[in-house]
Amino acid sequence: MAKWDVPVGSRVKINFDAAYNRHRKESYSGLVVRNEKAEVICSKSVRNANIPSVFAAEAMACVQALDLVIYIGLKDVIVEGDSQTVIKKLQEEGDDRSEIAAYI
């Protein structure tokens, strides 16, 4: 398990994760914003309905993390999640035709 690293200087870090219930097609997103002292600045949990897959749940959590940092007016932010699929899709250029394209 990797150790959580604090952001440097005036940066903040937002971590996101999702829990997915396949039978109900719903997910819950967890978001935590911390400063350089690892103090929690803001946290939020969100229930999401009509989510088709675990990949979509992770993508939704990422979108909600980005929305949160914009809403609270943060400028210098590190966004961190554990979904390698979502992170790769965000870094790709060109058209994305995957099931999470709408979220990306």
Whether 43 contacts 32, CB under 8 Å: yes
Report the pLDDT value the prediction gives residue 83, as an integer from 0 to 100.
73
3-state secondary structure of 60: helix
pTM of the model: 0.79
Question: Is 100's pLDDT higher than 70?
Answer: no
Where on the phi/psi map is residue 26: left (φ > 0), alpha (ψ -120 to 50), or beta?
beta
Mean pLDDT of 35-43: 93
Q: Which domains does the chain have, with CATH numbers?
A: 12-91 (3.30.420.10)
